[in-house]
Structure 1
Amino acid sequence: MQKPKLALIVAMSENRVIGRDNALPWHLKSDLKLFKAATQFKPIIMGSNTWDSLPRKPLPGRLNLVCSRDLKFEAEGGIVCNSLFEALDIAREHAADDGADEVVVIGGANIYEQTLPKADRLYVTEVHTTLDGDARFPEIDPAQWVEVKSEFCPKAEGDDYDFTVKVYERKRI
């Protein structure tokens, strides 16, 4: 089997805001369903702040790997990793053993910044608003990424805003 790809999944505003006060600055019920479908049965990697922000821990049906430099940090139901390298190693091993084609990074900003240069695929929900926030997703360099899918999703019941779901693949040079 081929080595599992590294994917990042993110919802961000038009000005790249992904969070405010360790929470999502919107509610998008429709996008949460897409998030679950994209990550189900795949190892997921997150930072400790993202873990703390989850309403339900661990996210079911996924190996939850939590990166923290705090040696006393605990994540009941998840696996605490003291480095991103350790988390990636464990995630890739589990993905290969389970037949998953991807390892998915789910946040936050620091973890995204570290993994974007290594990523093969991006699942990006562009929320059609601009907001203030204290966490942002890094710039997506069009010289390195090609958009392979784009689907507009009008605001539905349980959604604060319209959004567009895009998938990017890393350009192979």
Structure 2
Amino acid sequence: GVKLERTYQLNFGGNTDFLNMLERDRLMSKKISKTRSVTSQLDYDIGKDNVHIGPSDYVPWLNDRKWAYIRLEGRSFGDVPLNVELKLEVVDSPNSAGIVIDAVRCCKLAMDRGIGGALEGPSSYFMKSPPVQYSDTEARRLVEEFIDGGKASENGRAGRTARSKPAAAASRR
């Protein structure tokens, strides 16, 4: 695999979410949650100066479109540098609708089963800043186990192999 050394994600959009983030206080909390979401998937620290994730600017003519410019820099086999750049364009508002629907479905399952409190597996899979952060692979396994009514459905969690990262929940994907 590639050892990630630094990354950035610059987001531009034209909806009110981006307009509101022109207020720098709102921008900081979003920047923190996005950065935590990205760095939580690494099993090593690349240093805070090597990660820049955040809403970057409001461009009115983009309307409800969001453009994300992403760059990843790392080293591959033989210590060879490897860089990837990409641009993502989405219609922003409906972009997370599927995630929200699945999160609500898990909440309904929890209600039907008499489960209260944080659903750690589903929260880790669906949210940027869950109460406990699992790897994407482990979080998906826990969600599937929760849906199937297995061990994770007892209290919304299974095992304790997570890297704990407390923060407020926000839409992740």
Please give the TM-score of this superposition, normalised by the length of structure 2.
0.27
Q: Which has the higher contact order (CA 8 A, sep 6+)?
A: 1
**Structure number with higher strand proportion:** 1
**Structure number with higher helix proportion:** 2
Larger-gyration structure (1/2): 2
Please give the TM-score of this superposition, normalised by the length of structure 1.
0.27
